[in-house]
Every structure is written in structure tokens, then in C-alpha cells.
Chains A and B, each alone.
Chain A
Amino acid sequence: MAHSYTPGLKVLKKTIFKKERILPLKGDVLVKSGDQLTPDTIVASTNLPGNVQMLKVSNILNIDPKDVVDALQVKEAQEVKKGDIIAETSGIFGMFKSSVESPVDGTIESISQSTGRVVVREAPIPVEVDAYVSGVVDEVVENEGIVLKSNAAFIQGIFGIAGEKRGDLLLVSSGPGEELTADQITADMKGKILIGGSFLSLDAYKKALSIQVAGIVVGGFNYYDLKAILGYNLGVAITGTEKLNTALIVTEGYGSIPMSEATFSLLKENDGKAASINGATQIRAGVIRPEIVIPIDAGNTDDDSNSKIPEGIQEGSTVRVIRSPNFGKIGKVISLPSELNKMESETMVRVAEINIDGKNILIPRANLEMVETE
């Protein structure tokens, strides 16, 4: 039977979720293999080199760069406190001295005779990495961090904003086609992860933000509303560093689009459970999609859907159209003709024949997405 491969987002009821938790620079790993972790457990820590202050000593003292050495009161590698004298001229008969003080606490890193500059490095900046999801340490990466393992339900969104958050899931919309409205968001939802249906308006997001909802998972959002949240037009889909209290994960795309049945029912099934989410998205080579991880009982782990070989689109597969016309509609594959077909745009493409609402239509395979059903 003919089939084709299309990218599909993961919607997994039960999987072994693994995640690297790695430091930006080498440092200390604080846990060992097999340790139980909660999302807040600090697994590794290190110190980033401190900021650098460059003091133009020769300019300030109005002396030649090569004479800076004579005026110095400090040596390389010496620790200094804010206000300590770094260099001083001898003045005239001990009077009219001019001096340079350290603007910060730090260490003298270097002294340059060619430019007359002294470099003071501030104290190191500590960095910690937490576990993010509850689970166990599967592997320790020496001096760098760990690989965490957890039995979890796992869902990928198509696009998100803001980084890692955690909270209990709370079903708000009653169905995948229902909009999550501002008046449904109430003060007691602080710290929760809300589950919506087809759409979230800018007003509703702003309200969630004001009461510090941890995150919202919804089918669609308007592209032009992002500007009001981010403060700029989102030109390329690289997100995750936004400093927002409420992460947003869009599962289907821009506009009002019902959340896929599979995603909605899995979230509904886990209503009330603790989850970890991350809105970080990067659509480039090495794609990163936003994610929802819901740790589940460790008891039964044999259903490892993550390791299943992804099946391509086949006759009978359920697919969704991901580009206009028919955007967002779901249908069944009737046939996968092998020859190229001419579209209305005159583009020659490989197509699939899809039954949507009782009608058979030809759609480019590149414009289809597999809907994984269990």
C-alpha cells in the first residue's frame, strides 16, 4: 500500500520521557544515577565568569599607557573591593594626586601597557539547573548535567511563547471547538495550566497574565495579537526567553482552529494532574516544539508509544489539512496516487485523495499532517 511521510506532532498517552538537563558551562552535578527528582530539585550548578569592567586608566590619569604600570596600586589576580584605589599619580610634592577607583568588587584580570587599560572581573555568577519534571536520574553527564527519565503523557504544540512553567492542569473549555474566553478565567486559577479549545483572544491572555496563570494550552491564537504581548512583530519563530508569567502553547496554528480531538481528550483525561510545560519554540534546522509533560504512575510502563516507529500516511489514515484551502479540516485518505498532479496554482505536486465532509478532494501531501489516533 502506498504511503508517505509527513511530520506530525506527538500526542502520546504514555511514554518514557527523557530530557537532558545540562549546564551552559562545565560545573558540578549534584545528583547521582537513580535519584528521585521533583521538578524543583537542583541537579547541577556552576559559576559563569563575572562581568568585565574595563578601566581606561591612562585616559583618566592623563598619562601615557606605558606609564600606567608605575601608577598602579594593584597586581594582576589581586582581589579588589568597590572603591579601592587601582592606580594613582604621584602628584606634585604629594599634592594634586589623581586616582582611579574600582567601580565594583572583583579581581584584576589584566593590565595592558599598549592601551593603558585595566580589566576588573566581577564575582562569578552562579547558575543552577533544576529537574523541570519529576522523575529519576537516568544518566549523569560528567561535569555537565543529567538525563532525566519520567513515565509521562507527552504532547507537542506547534508554537509557544515563554519558557518552562509547572502547575496543575485545569480543563476550562468543555470541547475542542470551544473558545476559551476572558470571563472564564478567574482569580482561583493562579498557578494552574488552563486547557482551552479552539481559540484564545488577546483579552483572555492578558487576563490570565494578570492573575498569574502558569500556562494556557489552546488550539489557535491570532498572529497579529502576538505583537501586543511581545512588544514586537515576531519575525522568526524562535521563542522561549520571553519574561512572561503565563506560557502559551498553541497546538494547531494561527487563527481559530479546533484543538485536535486526540490532544484535547488526552489533556481532559489528565485534568487536575501536575504538569510541566515549556513554550520554547525554534522552527529551523534542529526544530524545537513547545511541550506538555504530565508525569504518570510508574506502575505500567510497557506501553512505550515513543519508541513506536512513526507510520506514514496510508490509505485509511486520518489526516489534517495544514494549509488553505480547507485549512484545519480533518479527513480520511482514500488514495495516494503516485503521479504528479497539477493544482489550481499550476504547481505540480504529489497528492493524496482525501474524503472531507463526504467529498473527495486532491490535496498536496506536503499540506497534510498525520493525526495520530490511539
Chain B
Amino acid sequence: MSKKIKSILATDCGSTTTKAVLIEWKEDRYRLTFRGEAPTTVEAPFEDVTKGVLNAVMEVEELSGRTILDGDKIITPDDGSKGVDIYVSTSSAGGGLQMMVAGVVKSMSGESAERAALGAGSIVMDVLASNDGRLPHEKITRIRQLRPDMILLSGGTDGGTTTHVMELAEILAAANPRPRLGQNYKLPVIYAGNNKAQDSIRETLGEISDLDIVDNIRPVLEQENLEPSRDKIHDLFMEHVMAQAPGYKKLMSWTDAPIMPTPGAVGSLIEMIAKKENISVVGVDIGGATTDIFSVFEGKFNRTVSANLGMSYSICNVLAESGLDNVLRWVPFDIDRSELTNRIGNKMIRPTTVPQSLEELVIEQAIAREALRLSFIQHKEFATSLKGVQSERTISDAFEQSSSGQSLVNMMDLDLLVGSGGVLSHAPRRQQSARMLIDAFMPEGITQLAVDSIFMMPQLGVLANIDKDELKEDASQAALEVFDNDCLIRLGTCLTPVGNAKPNSRMADVTLTFGDGSVKEIEINEGSLKMMEHPYEEVKVHIKPVRGIDVGAGKGEELESVIYGGVVGLIFDGRNRPITLSKESDQRIDSLLKWSKAVDEYPKGEMF
């Protein structure tokens, strides 16, 4: 098979590190072949992002022995011995894309605007709404303080009343906000509200801002139309924000596709995978300052950023929000509380240190569980069906108490859970990553677990987004194949029956049939955790839950499926949902030690 694209160079310019990967066509598929990294060079003394890019690419050159650069230029196309066919990049350097959004009703157009901005990969600094309880002058002060990169203004259904959205526009005009970067250009404002107000909006905001008008984000209450706003955000990110950052004009001239904000690229990759495989996916990236969560349920994509839940800069905020007791419940030994808070405080003020002792590692992973759990709660609250939509209710609906705005996140439907970020990707044992993911996200039924060990999803995301006709097909094939073969480290599959069960009672019987025809029976009991080592190979599974227990087919219903092992294997989690730990210290520690031992989570010794 001849391929139009034989080699791809992709970079991700992060706030501290620029990472480059080389993807090549090898016999019958695309593979990641080499990667390199170098410090990002956006800030003084370099102030040119391309320097870091060139350094990272040079490392790829050294490792691969392939010439990619000709001085300060990337050689294209690939002539078989040197150069690459295409080059793409993402960026989150300089704090990424920071936006403020506004909508008339906070839970309706405000939320849709927030969804569009988050989906495009931005950080949402604030959501202004007519009904957010703040007085006009308070809103104005807030807008002035924040200095966003751009503002998305929405509100009203098409043809409806214009008063409220105009009031918001007038508040923006009175604030006369300045952009964060660059003194000499007007702040980009996107209007995506009631089409009847477009002329008045032009009159009010046309002079003081760089105004763009796109289709309404909520043309009618029952419909959300995020694409036009998301696309416009991406265009403006390139034209305004990126163009202000040092060296980006040069970088933009090198790439074969527009530079995307890093989280935007990750989101679009996850969206694409969910669509192609027809599965529900949750992806998480836990960093030092923030935690990003992406999900696709019922074909709907959502992203949230928990701005102050992270493992170093904002580690104390995890402690503040979850409470010390919630962190300590995951720690299988007694520790002086004031000493522990001082230790966590010291990690915040010296964020680059690493856990040397086992005790420090266990504490760090306990905090990670809480950071992930809290971020996921925020995500579930945000990833909902549209609010404010009236639906016809029957008698049975009335009994169910269902309403609009319910969370789309259904853990029983979740097929794949992917983790990334230092604490998950670089845990000394993969079992630890699996345990953190399970304890924090609490998957139900059958769920495959994976980690993105080198965080390649941004580069693959931008690759998947190439829309030049002649390259599109190969590029998206490359993105998917590398994602499958090189990006993900498959941890294994977690099987979790849920429902009312007495302590230690049987919840389900599992029959596993392996590729060589051998069969194994496993009993899942309430409160237990078991692990079976098995590589990333197909296993036929038959699960027979007891009455009242659900494994995915309904209460008491048997289920047949095909599952896969991984570097950890198959995990049978009988701890029911939510996972509850005893209030009695001795019992709690006993359970924690038992579970850790079951999955070989920590090295054996005094502590375990």
C-alpha cells in the first residue's frame, strides 16, 4: 500500500517543556519511532518558541539518525533519507488560552458558552450572566481585573427578546476590557447569541472590540450549536493570541495545519476515538496546577478544567477542598496531622520535589485520588443534558423524578478510562495507576483502563484534525494507529458488580475463557479486590450476578463479553459503589492493606 504520508513530525509546546515525536509508516502501519524534548523558550532570555521546537527536533534527529532540519528550517517532503512529509503542533505555552464567557441565564446560554470555550481548549476564567447575582459595577470590575484573551458573548434564542443580551453587551462596553497580551490591539469578542440583536451588538461593541459574529449557540432552547463558536475560537487563537506570543508567527508558517490549543487537540482525539469505536470514554490529565477531564457519553463531548486541583502548585487546595480526613482515609498508617499538613504545604512551595520514601509516595497517591475524585464530581455536574428544556412528562416520568439537566456521565456505560499526568503516568508500579483510577472514578460493570505514558494525545489530536483533502485520510489513520499501538499503555480491565449486597456476600460469578481454550472461574465477593495477571489479549467473559446486582446488563442479568488484560491484568472489584471505608481506624487500615496486597500495589516490607 503506498502512502501519501510516510513521516510526520509533531510537537507540543507546553508551558515548561516542548515535546517532539516522529511518526513513520512501517511496513503496514504507522508507528511512533522517536521522541525528544527540550525546555520551552517562550520567556526571556530566548523569547522565541521556535528555539525550543528546534532543540526538541534536534534530539529526535540525534536519536533517529535522520536529518529533519536544514538550519532553522524543517525539510519537507520526506525524500526517503531526510525530511518529513508533514509538521504539526499544539501549544499551551504562556498560560494557554484564557477566556471569559457571558450568557443571559447562567445555567442555559452561560453554560453552553462555557462548554464551547472549554471544548475549544481554553481556560474559562469566569462566566458572566444576567442572573449571576452580581451588580453591574461588580461585573465591570471583574472584567477589568481578569484581562482575558477573548470573550464569548451569548444569550437569547433566535428571534427572541434582545434586552438581556444587550445589557450584557453594555456591561462589556462600559468595562472596555484590554487583552492580556499586547497593548496595541483590540480585545477579540465573539457574539453567538440571538440573531435579532446582531446589529445592536455591532453598534455597542464594534468600536471598542474586535467583534466577530457567529451563529447562535442556543438558536432554540432545545438545541445547542457549539461548532461555529468553537471554530471561531480556534481561528482567533491563531490570529490574535498566538500571533502575540514570541516566535509563533514563525512557527505558524512552518506547520501544515493550524496550531491548536493543547487541550483542544486532546479533546478532539478523544471525541474521534469514541466515535470510531462507538464507545464511551473518560480521559483525565492531572498536572501540577490543574486537572482536565474529557468525556464522551451518548456521543456528546464534554471537557472541564478544575483550575485549582493539581499535584504541586495547587496541592494544598486539594487538601482544603476535600478535607484532611478524606485524604487520610487512603493512607494505611497513622500520621501526625499537623506534620502532614506541613509536608503538603512544603510540596506546594517546593513543587519540583519527588517522593523518596514509600510513606511520601503513599501520601502523594492518596492526595491524587482526592484531586481526581473532586475533579470528576465537577465534571459530572457540568456534563449534563441541556437545561431549561421542557419535555412532555408521563405519569411514569413523574415518579422517576427525572428532569432536564441530568448528568450524561453514566459509569456503567463507560468503556474506556484513560489517565495521564505525572502522578498517573510515572507511578513506580502500574498497579498504583490502576488503583488510583479505580478508587477515584469508581467505574462500574466492565471498564478498560489505560494510561498515556508520555502524553502524546495532543500531537495525535492535531494530526487527526488535518483537513487538507489529500492528507486527511492518512493523517487520521496515523493518529488512530499510533494512539492504539504506542500512545496507550493498557493496564487491563476492571470488573465491578454493583447493587445492594451484604458484607462479604457473593455478588457475581465470573467465567473466563482464554485464547488457549483454558477456563477459569472467579467469585466476586462484596468488599473484596482481586487481580489476575493477563497480558493485553482477548478473554471471553461470562458474568453471572446474583439477584439485585448489576454488571451492565441490568439487575440479576447475565452478561457475555470480550475483555482484554494489560500490564496489570484483570481486576475484580467487589467493593461496591461508592467505595466506603470504615470509620474505625484499625478496620480501615486493615482493608487498605488487604486491597494493596491483592493487586501487589506497593513493595513488601515493614509498611505493606
Contacts and interface: CB of A to CB of B under 8 A. Distances in A.
Interface of A: 7, 49, 51-54, 65, 109-110, 112, 114-115, 117, 119, 121, 158-159, 222-224, 232-237, 253-255, 281, 283-286, 322-325, 327, 343-349, 363-364, 366-367, 369
Interface stretch (B352-360, B389-397, B398-406, B481-489): B352-360
B356 A235 contact: no
A285 B316 CA distance: 17
Nearest to A286: B43
A127 to B, nearest CB: 13
B351 A236 contact: no
B162 interface: yes
A121 B361 CA distance: 56
29 contacts: A51-B137, A52-B136, A52-B175, A54-B174, A115-B170, A117-B167, A222-B338, A222-B342, A223-B346, A233-B319, A233-B320, A236-B313, A236-B314, A236-B316, A253-B342, A283-B349, A284-B313, A285-B15, A285-B95, A322-B350, A323-B356, A324-B356, A325-B357, A327-B346, A343-B357, A344-B357, A345-B355, A349-B354, A367-B356
Contact of B316 (A235, A346, A366): A235
B428 interface: yes
Contacts of A236: 289, 308, 313-314, 316-317, 348
B346 A254 contact: yes
B200 A114 contact: yes
Given A285-B95, A367-B354, A115 B137 contact: no
A107 B568 CA distance: 69
Interface string B161-192: 01100110011011110000000000000000
Contacts of B428: 345-348
A363 B319 CA distance: 27
B228 interface: no
Nearest to B136: A54
Contacts of B317: 233, 235-236
Contacts of A222: 338, 341-342
B166 A110 contact: no
Contacts of A110: 170, 173-174
A169 to B, nearest CB: 24
Contacts of B388: none
Contact of B341 (A114, A223, A345, A367): A223
A253 B355 contact: no
B82 interface: no
Given A119-B174, A158-B350, A223-B342, A345 B313 contact: no
A112 B201 CA distance: 12
Contacts, number: 165
Contacts of A159: 349
Interface residues of B, number: 57
Given A236-B308, A254-B342, A363 B351 contact: no
Contact of A322 (B175, B314, B344, B346): B346
Given A222-B342, A286-B43, 8 more contacts: A114-B162, A235-B316, A236-B314, A254-B349, A323-B355, A345-B356, A345-B357, A347-B428
A109 B357 CA distance: 63
Contacts of A367: 353-354, 356
A110 B174 CA distance: 8
A236 B307 CA distance: 11
Contacts of A344: 356-358
B345 A223 contact: yes
A65 B166 CA distance: 12
A7 B175 CA distance: 41
Contacts of B15: 285
A347 B354 contact: yes
B554 interface: no
Interface in B505-528: none
A222 to B, nearest CB: 6
Interface in B287-328: 289, 308, 313-314, 316-317, 319-321
Given A65-B163, A117-B167, A235-B316, A322 B356 contact: no
Contacts of B548: none
B232 interface: no
A259 B417 CA distance: 46
A255 B359 CA distance: 18
Nearest to B316: A235
A347 B356 contact: yes
Nearest to B344: A223
In the A-B complex, the 9 residue pairs with the closest CB atoms: A235-B317, A223-B345, A233-B320, A346-B428, A345-B361, A254-B342, A254-B345, A54-B136, A323-B353
A283 B347 CA distance: 11
Interface string B392-435: 00000000000000000000000000000000001011000000
B70 interface: no
Given A234-B316, A235-B317, A158 B163 contact: no
A237 B163 contact: no
Given A109-B174, A119-B174, A345-B428, A366 B289 contact: no
Given A114-B163, A346-B429, A346-B603, A366 B353 contact: yes
A315 B340 CA distance: 32
B356 A364 contact: yes
